[in-house]
Amino acid sequence: MDTVTLVGIDLGKHSFHLHGQDRKGLPVFRRKLNRKQLIEFFATFHPCTAAMEACAGAHYLARKLIATGHEVKLISPQYVRPFVKGNKNDFIDAEAICEAASRPTMRFVPPKTEAQQTLSMLHRVRESLVHDRTKTANQMHGFLLEFGISLPTGLSVIKRLPTLLAEHELPPQLVAVLERLHAHFKYLDAQITEAEKELGRQVHEDDLGQRLMTLPCIGPITASVLAAEVGDGHQFASSRHFAASLGLVPRQYSTGGKSTLLGISKRGDKNIRRLLVQCARVFMQRLDSDTTALANWVRTLLARRHSNVVACALANKLARMAWALARGHTAYQATPQPVSA
């Protein structure tokens, strides 16, 4: 056991399967433990490297193992799958994790802090509430359309639904259903507002969040989710690596020495990618009153490419600037457009 340098852990809800190997990659032990036994095992084990897939519970366990003096490497599950040999079982998965972690070019996921995880969960709750609110509004639109009442699109008309119901003769049962849906809509809207206020409070208390909000068209929601994702920026070798982790770089299909670039790869967190693209589109809508060098770059690009392509290119640039602010501990300063002679 003293020769073990790398331990692969296949995570589960109640049972954990361990595969330990030495410096040469030879297997030393295999063991199945429950959650309490796992913590006790690593608390008394000599310092080594523990590798896990970046899945549910991985960040919590990573913080526990780091506190006991171990080095932790988290790997995206898609990079572990090619190393699974033969039929799949938990011990083979743990061995595959060891194989993946021992590769010199493997990419690892940095463990998140409690604050980062809490902020990320708050964003997920808000996304779910927004989805439910949209679904409830669409239901009310659809029910009224069945009775010949066509409402304008948007959420503002739903907020004055009781007034609209009083103007039309509808079956009492339908009115009761719509009133319940309207009450549910107001509850969801209030919860979304409260979640956004909490996000705003957290981002204003965070130094990185405040610096990220200096970027053009980046608000509290986008700044907070970027702060939780990029951290201090040291886990990414360059700004392009961060943009690539969000799926904002072209997907390659190159062979025979010929480079072929397709659309964006759409890898990574789709929520951050969606928010950055929305910020880019807002920036593009305000080009007429913007005289900065970034606006001039966007105008030049719009003259020869489709607006969707420009939006993705600008989202890529915003992601790179966010990484630069996090890595360099600086704030964004707009560069004025140079005056031509």
Same domain? 167 vs 191 = yes
* Domain shared by 218 and 310, yes or no: yes
When pLDDT is averaged across residues 301-308 and rounded to a whole number, the result is 91
Task: Round to whole Å and give the CA distance between 144 and 76.
Answer: 46
For residue 338, the model assigns a pLDDT of: 60
Let me know if residue 177 belongs to a domain: yes
Q: Is the pLDDT of residue 42 over 80?
A: yes
Single-letter residue type at 304 = R
State the CATH number of the domain containing residue 73: 3.30.420.40
Name the pLDDT band for 34 (thresholds 50, 70, 90).
very high
Q: Is the pLDDT of residue 340 over 90?
A: no
Residue 261: inside a domain: yes
**Residue ranges making up the domain that contains 318:** 212-328
Please state, in angstroms and rounded to a whole number, the distance separating the CA atoms of residues 92 and 113: 29
Per-residue pLDDT tens over the stretch 146-167: 888 888 888 888 888 888 788 7
**pLDDT band (50, 70, 90) for residue 341:** very low
Q: Do 22 and 87 share a domain, yes or no?
A: yes
Q: How far apart, in whole angstroms, are the C-alpha atoms of residue 330 and residue 28?
A: 48
Residue range 203-233, pLDDT digits in tens: 888 888 888 888 888 888 898 888 888 877 7
For the chain, the domain total comes to 3
Residue 116 confidence (pLDDT): 82
Contact 29, 18 (CB under 8 A): yes
Closest residue by Cα to residue 292 from 329, 317, 326, 274: 317
pLDDT of res. 339: 52
pLDDT band at 59 (very low <50, low <70, confident <90, very high): very high
Residues 262, 177 share a domain: no
Give the pLDDT band of residue 33 (cuts 50, 70, 90): very high
Beta bridge mates, 10: 17
The H or E element containing residue 19 is strand 15-22
- Assess whether pLDDT exceeds 50 at residue 196: yes
For residue range 104-131, what is the model confidence (pLDDT) as tens digits?
A: 888 888 888 888 888 888 888 999 999 9
- Specify whether 252 is located in the same domain as 283: yes
